[in-house]
Amino acid sequence: KKAKHSRCNFYGNVNVGRDVTINELKEAYHAVVLSYGAEGNRTMGVPGEDLAGVYAAKDFVGWYNGLPNCRELNPDLSCETAVILGQGNVALDVARILLAPISMLKSTDITQPALEALAQSQVRRVLIVGRRGPLQIACTIKEIREMVNLPGTKPEMLPADFEGISEVLKDVPRPRKRLTELMLKTALETPGEKELERRKSASRSWGFRFFRSPVEVLAEPRTNKTSAIRLAVNRLEGSGADAQAVLTGEVEDVTCGLVISSIGYRSLLIDPGLPFDSRKAIIPNSMGRIQHTPGVYCSGWVKTGPTGVIATTMNNSFDTARSMMEDMDSGALDVSAVKSGSQSITALLRGRGVKPVTFADWEKIDSVETKKGEAEGKPREKLLSVEEMLQVAQT
Amino acid sequence: MAASAAVRTSVGLTLKLSRIIPDCSSCPLYGSKSCVRSATNSQRRSSQDTFRIIYRHLQTSIGLYHSDDGSSNTEDPDDVVNVVYVDRTGQRIPVQAKVGDNVMYLAHKHGIDLEGACEASLACSTCHVYVSDAHFDKLPEPDEREDDMLDMAAMLQENSRLGCQIILTRELDGMELTLPKVTRNFYVDGHVPKPH
């Protein structure tokens, strides 16, 4: 395993930017690579976004996945309809968690509190809303297929949304074509007997809604809880990936008690010493070499923005590694000087009262979670607070 | 490219299964924890996984001695399948394998630089390979979940498959598996880290 390699050391529980600065790391090491992803989220920027019942997908996902700082989310699942803004894989994940049978969720590593809340959930209908049309949908086919095959649910699409789509499919590349064909089949094809039966007995439903942008979240006047979302109706100008959503002036209100905005993650600036493009929310770079900052590189979503699947991000990281190798060869990255490395950094952290967690410590946490999970037929039962994790790590 | 699915003629997966479905009571693994067909092990297994594992256990039940290091001197000659990997530099690496071997794990065993990020769970496309034309049609049709993941692979071709879904059979003898040239070497000196 790479983490156990003698030349690889893991230091968890260290906040770069607060516990140690990029400059201090630059002093101690020949090269620094930033690969910290995108933990912020894009906001809708509409009135009512702060109402009870409105959540960022990042927080909702963090809640059911056991991220310590999302523990107190307590999402209100007492309404019938949930509206998700955004149609990427994260939006589909949220829809799946809201509608999956509890029996399916029980054997995953979803947190116990989330499982209990979802068992009591009244949510029966989830609408996944996008600004543009079916040909611009951002999710991938695997996630759509999981929704189509989700036990106890039936699809609820608007055939009118798919007018003219099948005619343009022949020239579309394979991935987009297969994805669109699956949507068309789900939306337009008359289901066979077995599927008809399955849909008749389904108690939950989900569907895509296209050509809609959020304008305002409306509240019930007495309780100030979310009661509906006002959506602007769009039309498309142009086609394919570059099609633009243009307002028509019409609006539509959709009754709902839960609004989840899943319109993209954003990288954060963790150290003021670094350049940052706040429009694109990435660190400005060229092939992974951070601009104006020799010796510091970046990789992953903080380099390219928050899109792409495993293979894309993997290749992206290979590119950064290649840039580093080239720089070592050309001398642009000077590796001849003797650097103090972890010796100075660990001393520095100790002086600041920071207790790093080693990989061996991580393995203790992993082992405790896995054992707890075994007792419940789950791959793991996650520890939900940093304090508990540190307690285990330091035994 | 979706038409390639129609163009492929292949021995149906069902046919293969029907030729080798074992009689459980004669298998030494019957009732033990290693038995793939036992109820506790059947969670989350796709038919493909079962197919793959049935092959492995058939070998065990025949009583052949197998060493795990990939050497084949104690093999039943009928079990041997020779394949050739063509890596990203164009280098040809012949491998003597056996019936039931998984193309992705076989590559790892022989130090061939084929990624397998999701560990054969059909959640990524990093084990993407091109299969030699003469053998491509002999592979069973991909599961639609494999096709979904292939959609994510860079430089997809008519003869693309995911290595983790290819199980060796006698008729795949001579198959060539070419790695797509999407990434460069990891290190200047050509050293490639071992897959974990």
* Residue range A2-61, pLDDT digits in tens: 788 888 999 999 999 999 999 999 999 999 999 999 999 999 999 999 999 999 999 999
Rounded to the nearest integer, the mean pLDDT of chain A is: 95
ipTM reported for the complex surpasses 0.85: no
Strand partners, B98: B80
Interface touch B123/A140, C-beta < 8 Å: no
Question: Would the pLDDT of B139 be above 80?
Answer: yes
B126 touches chain A (CB under 8 A): yes
Interface touch B151/A145, C-beta < 8 Å: no
Burial per residue of B104-143, b for 16 or more beta-carbon CB atoms within 10 angstroms, e otherwise: bbbbbbbebbbbbeeebebebbbbbbbbbeebbeebbebb
Residues A372-395 have pLDDT tens digits of 999 999 999 999 999 999 999 998
Question: Would the pLDDT of B62 be above 50?
Answer: no
- Residues from chain B that touch A379, judged by Cβ atoms under 8 A, are none
The residue of chain A nearest to residue B182, with distances taken between CA atoms, is: A315
Question: Would the pLDDT of A310 be above 50?
Answer: yes
Q: Identify which of B153, B187, B193 has the shortest CB distance to residue A311.
A: B153
The residue of chain B nearest to residue A179, with distances taken between CA atoms, is: B148
pLDDT confidence bin for B37, thresholds 50/70/90: low
Question: Would the pLDDT of A268 be above 60?
Answer: yes
Measured distance CA(B22)–CA(B37) in Å, rounded: 11
More confident position, B76 or B193: B76
Q: What is the pLDDT of residue B193?
A: 45
Q: pLDDT above 70 covers what percent of chain B?
A: 54
One-character DSSP codes across A48-91 = TTTSBTEEEHHHHHHHHHT-GGGTT------SSEEEEE--SHHH
pLDDT confidence bin for B24, thresholds 50/70/90: low
Interface touch B115/A314, C-beta < 8 Å: yes
CA of A89 to nearest chain B CA: how many angstroms apart? 13
pLDDT confidence bin for B35, thresholds 50/70/90: low
Which chain B residues in 79-118 lie under 8 Å from chain A, judged by CB atoms? 115, 117-118
Strand ranges, E, within chain A: 32-34, 40-41, 54-56, 81-85, 125-129, 153-155, 204-209, 212-219, 226-237, 244-255, 258-261, 265-266, 285-286, 289-290, 296-298
- Residues from chain B that touch A311, judged by Cβ atoms under 8 A, are 117, 124-126, 128, 152-154
DSSP state for residue A382 in the 8-state scheme: -
Question: Would the pLDDT of B183 be above 70?
Answer: no
Residues B56, B83: contact at Cβ < 8 Å?
Answer: no
Of A351-360, B26-35, B167-176, B183-192, least confident by mean pLDDT is B183-192
pLDDT confidence bin for B32, thresholds 50/70/90: low
Q: What is the pLDDT of residue B77?
A: 79
One-character DSSP codes across chain B = -THHHHH-----HHHHHHHH---GGGSTTTTSTT-TTSGGG-TT--HHHHHHHHHHHHHHHHT----TTS--TTS-GGGEEEEEEE-TT--EEEEEEETT-BHHHHHHHTT-----TTSSSSS--TTEEEEPHHHHTTSPPPPHHHHHHHTTSTT--TTEEEGGG-B--GGGTT-EEEPPTTS--SSTT---PPP-
Q: What is the pLDDT of residue B64?
A: 42
A126 labelled ligand-binding: no
Interface touch B124/A315, C-beta < 8 Å: no
Question: Would the pLDDT of A205 be above 50?
Answer: yes
Question: Would the pLDDT of A153 be above 60?
Answer: yes
Question: Would the pLDDT of B74 be above 80?
Answer: no
Interface touch B151/A178, C-beta < 8 Å: yes
B155 touches chain A (CB under 8 A): no
A317 touches chain B (CB under 8 A): no
Measured distance CA(B45)–CA(A176) in Å, rounded: 28
Collapsing DSSP to helix, strand or coil, A308 comes out as coil
B40 touches chain A (CB under 8 A): no
One-character DSSP codes across A15-35 = -BTTTB-HHHHHHH-S-EEE-
CA of B151 to nearest chain A CA: how many angstroms apart? 5
A310 touches chain B (CB under 8 A): yes
Q: What is the pLDDT of residue A96?
A: 98
Strand ranges, E, within A256-381: 258-261, 265-266, 285-286, 289-290, 296-298
A12 class by beta-carbon count within 10 Å (0-12 exposed, 13-18 middle, 19+ buried): middle
CA of B95 to nearest chain A CA: how many angstroms apart? 25
Segment (H or E) for A185: helix A174-188
